[in-house]
Amino acid sequence: RSAQELIRPQLPAELTEKRAGCPFDPATGLTELSGHGHVHRIEHNGDTVWLVTGHDEARAVLAEPKMSSDRINSPRARRLISPELHAELFPPERRAGSFIFMDAPEHTRYRKLLTGQFTVRRMRDLAPRVIEIVTAQLDAMIEKGAPADLVHDFALPVPSLVICELLGVDYGDREEFQRRTSKLLSLNTTVDEQIKNTTELRRFMQTLVRAKQANPGDDLLSGLVRDTDLNEDELVGIANLLLIAGHETTANMLALGTFALLEHPEEFTKLREHPELIDNAVEELLRYLSIISMGVARHATEDVVIGGAIIKAGETVVVSVPAVNRDESQYDDPHELRIDRPRGHHVAFGHGIHQCLGQQLARVEMAVGFTELLRRLPTLKLAVPADEVPLRTDMSIYGVHSLPVTW
Ligand code: HEM
């Protein structure tokens, strides 16, 4: 098992992998389970996992201080990983700055420092750069000519280049940055290769941090160097976290979102004819696609009652984002994609203290990305039958491996 698998609670395949006849629907077993209550005790491979499928219960879990995000030190991880292997997989310098796995008050300190950098002003200043990046990527794709792979030519490079802006990666280093990040996401890597890629990426980030320390600019990383007392390991950890959290997620939303619009031609046309619906459409795509398909995991540090169930100290809880975002008590016809649906409170970006730090940026990337794609390529269509599009059914972030398109 990979390090990720060791710290991620496992659920049976029928609750995670298979989509019920439609590439955008949650696993068949998950939809059936959601019809029988909102908090479910699942026994699988010797593990007990509490699976939360209801909206109110999901928010209760994610807002609960007794629910820990420290997956690396969860009782489950401590049981499965020997102390020696634990020390090797998660040395302190690799944990530094990775605040997505931390609890208050440690998490609070980092979150405050980062919120101070994710300012309205910086996000506003980034918007024109996002437009330029999207436009340049579309120009290149159109120039190369149809057919194209929308994942390779558009969905992967756009968020990668936006993160370059955020971190202040020099133009000369961007190709290398993209090569390294795409390696990180590739499917056919062994655990050894994964460790090698991650180590090399850390080295790249270390060089970047040192460059910002020597010569700070206007970017977020320079802001952290200038305004905080974070040490080098912490800065490298934060840069890595922003990359890992912000790249694969946004890329899959762009690609799977385009696939969903192509498979719902009336919604595609509606959005093309009414571009003012874009903000609403982005929220609906986030809800409908719920790409964090394996859900968000926590473990209880004390006994907690959620939806009438007693979750014992040490037990694992998984909030199923796909099930929660299709909770029938929250949405009319939850399994339908309607870009003009009134906005609800989806949990695609999580909830509570760990709610996605990059959500405003992700929204800008998606709004600009979909708007420009539909405006520039109004005749966009799939270049292969829909059932030949390779789905990321086996990955923790759902989406497509490639999306062959023509226009
Ligand atoms: C946290 C989803 C884009 C940075 C999260 C969480 C979710 C999420 C569900 C909560 C995890 C938890 O509670 O354990 C998404 C989706 C995205 C996206 C669906 C794209 C559509 C981004 C971007 C960035 C980013 C663009 C930054 C550039 C982060 C960070 C956290 C986070 C740093 C950890 C926050 C914390 O622990 O306080 N994201 N994200 N995300 N996200 Fe995003």
Query: Ligand 1: does its nearest atom lie under 6 Å from the Cβ of 362?
Result: yes
Name the residue at shortest CA distance from atom 35 of ligand 1: 354
Of residues 48 and 192, more confidence is placed in 48
Which tokens hold the place of 178?
């993209």
Reported as a single tens digit per residue, the pLDDT across 301-357 is 999 999 999 999 999 999 999 999 999 999 999 999 999 999 889 999 999 999 999
Which of 15-29, 30-44, 206-220 comes out lowest in average pLDDT? Answer: 15-29
**C-beta 296 within 6 A of ligand 1:** yes
Torsion, CA 205, CA 210, CA 212, CA 213, rounded to 10? 140
Mutate to test the pocket of ligand 1, among 167, 234, 356 (most ligand atoms within 8 A of CB): 356
The 10s digit of each residue's pLDDT in 163-211 is 999 999 988 888 888 887 777 666 566 767 777 888 888 899 999 999 9
Rounded-to-integer distance, Cα 394 and Cα 187, Å = 10
- What number is the average pLDDT over the span 118-129? 90
Q: Whose CA is nearest to atom 38 of ligand 1?
A: 354
pTM score: 0.95
CB distance 67 to 298 below 8 Å? yes
Decide if pLDDT at 20 tops 60: no
Strand-pair partners of 396? none
Contact 373, 138 (CB under 8 A): yes
State yes or no: ipTM above 0.90.
yes
